[in-house]
A and B are shown apart, each in its own frame.
With several copies, the nearest count.
Chain A
């Protein structure tokens, strides 16, 4: 155990910091869900990152990455959030699909999809949920009917983030007549394909953050299937799948939020409820604990370890920490908590706590509701019966 950064790691941090200092846009970009202008501005940022070689530092160089280890990924993320760089419009691609492609993809698939993903030329949407398949993902009904070298996709996906403007999507489809975890395949499809209709869904704040995707006899080549036919469930749940548990939320995000919360508290400590100090400190400690835990996991993975049920403990911990942190911020804001960023009298330096709060509400729900994650912890870590 050695908790000092190596000179190489230090140099890497300095390099990242320098590059970000000179490239991160001074003014925040317009958000990527509300308008296609915002979306394209973020695509442009992905291209800028790619030109600098920063689009996904852990990927092999051949696919647009730097072939670096997870500790350096963490350092990159720390500097990225520290610099206030734009959110990653392609996060579904680079953090969710990318690692799975690297583990399960054929060389043709990797060559076809990874460089375009890294370059920002193809932005990805996820298409996990269906109206009847939320926490119970094995309930998907969308079908992939084999016709020679093609699949004909039909069905209805929902809560697809980025789907309104994105280029490609990935999701589970089942062989007609198959049930539950069997007969599922993970299939990639272009959102421009004939037979696809994308219908935006507004989040509670009115932003079209999600979409429904209706697939009506959409023809895709069999080569778009990732992993074996009918093996979609295990591909999703595999090691690579679990790595998503690590990359889904980098600790730096919460450390920045916690530092901002401390600033907010400092600026209001006089009029604040003294009990809120405890919540502020707890948020800071939790963000710190989450970072330390991820460093421990990253170290273990780098040494060849496999990730296990800690994806579930991580998911619960960061989602609850994020929600608590934002609720504490709203409590500190008092009568100003309800003001949106449009409110003329809202102090401009406050940060958008409401937006962060709305975002945090989704944490305990998506990527497997926390209730499901608790079942997983009880069954896999504590060996309790399925019930």
Chain B
């Protein structure tokens, strides 16, 4: 039992962090919006050059074969820096799926091409416009559909960097790449990964909100002193930070554990806890910024909007609460079950 990041994991996180700090600042984001661009080519190339889309892909395909913990750290950095490009979804959800379904396309996706994914739980598909192909569901079947075989209808989101589309398409045998009940496991894993890494991402959003608010509170003067000195402001931000502190280990534990019913509930817990932290943190940030906080010119609203969008994607909050409840009401609970009850019992048996 060792609940610490390795040095390699911490270095990876710092490297990604540094790349985004350099390339994904406020001016970069606002330039993209002014240009209505789907992505910043230079930044995406740097991300690809660093091998990030393939971070979870097998080495045989040119990936780094790293685990969910590494991916969660990358996702948190993406959330913190409000990265508009779909790295989290590509690296965390699409590539692990493609690696098993279409090696050639996986290689292209590692090289930076986008493959969008339309999960059965969500009515829309993100980033479909800049994708070369789309993973789509038709009943139990998985289809891989070229971009030019679908019609897209843009669905504007509160988050101006989200590119959501309704996808109109006609399933055919030619595009079907998997079917039968065995295919469900792909969609289930995609949902778990989407929820887990989306949770990690929104945790980054939460921390950025607290950091921005704390920086502003130190600077902003009212009543002859910096507002960060007022207990009301201090406690508001302290409460948000506490939520973050107790969401982070859940996200990390969910990432570091194997797939199991126990861990699926923990993924849901991680998503809920991170989203709750982001909800509190982004609203606190708006409040601390005062009128600045609901103006377009300060970046706080980008955080609020990203949190709103991510908190309901890859399974709504209701869905994840339901999944936690189902686990809690049926599983063996207790202080010896923190890391899974079943494994625990087996190992005790072996020892005894």
Judged by CB atoms under 8 Å, the answer to whether A and B touch is yes
Q: Is the CB of B348 within 8 A of A10?
A: yes
A111 at the interface (CB under 8 A from B): no
Residues of A within 8 A of B343 (CB): 4
In the complex, A206 Cα to B256 Cα: how many Å? 41
Q: Is the CB of B318 within 8 A of A334?
A: yes
A255 with B250, Cβ < 8 A, contacts A289-B273, A369-B290 known: no
A77 at the interface (CB under 8 A from B): yes
B239 at the interface (CB under 8 A from A): yes
B156 at the interface (CB under 8 A from A): yes
The stretch of A33-41, A130-138, A141-149, A236-244 in contact with B is A130-138
A19 at the interface (CB under 8 A from B): no
Per-position contact with A for B192-231: 1 when CB-CB < 8 Å, else 0? Answer: 0000000000000000001000100110011101101111
Q: How far is the CB of B259 from chain A (nearest CB, A)?
A: 13
Q: Is the CB of A298 within 8 A of B351?
A: no
B294 at the interface (CB under 8 A from A): yes
B69 at the interface (CB under 8 A from A): yes
In the complex, A275 Cα to B350 Cα: how many Å? 42
Q: How far is the CB of A339 from chain B (nearest CB, A)?
A: 6
Q: How far is the CB of B42 from chain A (nearest CB, A)?
A: 26
Q: How far is the CB of A190 from chain B (nearest CB, A)?
A: 24
Q: Is the CB of B291 within 8 A of A366?
A: yes
Q: How far is the CB of B103 from chain A (nearest CB, A)?
A: 29
List the A residue with the shortest CB-CB distance to B249. A292
Residues of B within 8 A of A26 (CB): none
A59 at the interface (CB under 8 A from B): no
A335 with B313, Cβ < 8 A, contacts A1-B69, A299-B3, A384-B218 known: yes
Can you name 6 extra interface pairs (CB under 8 A) apart from A296-B252, A338-B312, A343-B164?
Answer: A2-B2, A210-B291, A310-B245, A323-B283, A334-B317, A382-B210
A139 with B222, Cβ < 8 A, contacts A13-B336, A203-B296 known: yes
Residues of B within 8 A of A291 (CB): 335, 338
If over half of B's interface residues share one DSSP class (helix, strand or loop), that class is named, otherwise mixed; here it is helix
B339 at the interface (CB under 8 A from A): yes
Q: Is the CB of B235 within 8 A of A135?
A: no
Which one of B3, B225, B316, B336 lies within 8 Å of A1 (CB-CB)? B3
Per-position contact with B for A282-301: 1 when CB-CB < 8 Å, else 0? Answer: 00111011111101101110
The stretch of A93-101, A115-123, A217-225, A371-379 in contact with B is A371-379
A177 at the interface (CB under 8 A from B): no
Q: Is the CB of B252 within 8 A of A377?
A: no
Q: How far is the CB of B281 from chain A (nearest CB, A)?
A: 12
Q: Is the CB of A369 within 8 A of B287?
A: yes
Q: How far is the CB of B167 from chain A (nearest CB, A)?
A: 11
A337 with B246, Cβ < 8 A, contacts A371-B235, A384-B234 known: no
Q: Is the CB of B214 within 8 A of A346?
A: no
A350 at the interface (CB under 8 A from B): no
18 contacts between A and B (CB under 8 A): A7-B351, A13-B351, A14-B352, A17-B348, A201-B296, A256-B335, A258-B333, A285-B272, A288-B338, A293-B248, A334-B312, A337-B312, A339-B158, A361-B294, A371-B232, A371-B233, A374-B235, A384-B218
Q: Is the CB of A292 within 8 A of B166?
A: no
A331 at the interface (CB under 8 A from B): yes
Q: How far is the CB of B8 from chain A (nearest CB, A)?
A: 11
Which residues of A193-250 have CB atoms within 8 Å of chain B's CB atoms? 201-206, 210
Per-position contact with A for B252-294: 1 when CB-CB < 8 Å, else 0? Answer: 1100110000000010010011000001000100110011011
Residues of B within 8 A of A386 (CB): 229
> Size class of A's contact patch?
35 or more
Which one of B238, B253, B269, B290 lies within 8 Å of A377 (CB-CB)? B238
B183 at the interface (CB under 8 A from A): no
In the complex, A92 Cα to B316 Cα: how many Å? 40
Residues of B within 8 A of A303 (CB): 2, 4
Residues of A within 8 A of B257 (CB): 3
Residues of B within 8 A of A1 (CB): 2-6, 9, 69, 252, 256
Q: Is the CB of A135 within 8 A of B249?
A: no
Q: Is the CB of A135 within 8 A of B166?
A: no
Residues of A within 8 A of B329 (CB): 262, 266
Q: How far is the CB of A78 from chain B (nearest CB, A)?
A: 4
A382 with B237, Cβ < 8 A, contacts A10-B347, A339-B156 known: yes
Residues of A within 8 A of B321 (CB): 273, 275, 278, 281
In the complex, A1 Cα to B317 Cα: how many Å? 28
Q: Is the CB of B1 within 8 A of A289?
A: no
In the complex, A206 Cα to B217 Cα: how many Å? 25
A349 at the interface (CB under 8 A from B): no
B143 at the interface (CB under 8 A from A): no
Residues of A within 8 A of B290 (CB): 134-135, 365, 369
A82 at the interface (CB under 8 A from B): yes
A342 at the interface (CB under 8 A from B): yes
Residues of B within 8 A of A339 (CB): 155-158, 164
Residues of A within 8 A of B162 (CB): 338
A127 at the interface (CB under 8 A from B): no
List the A residue with the shortest CB-CB distance to B333. A259
Which one of A252, A275, A296, A387 lies within 8 Å of B234 (CB-CB)? A387
A55 at the interface (CB under 8 A from B): no
In the complex, A343 Cα to B5 Cα: how many Å? 42
List the A residue with the shortest CB-CB distance to B159. A338
Residues of B within 8 A of A113 (CB): none
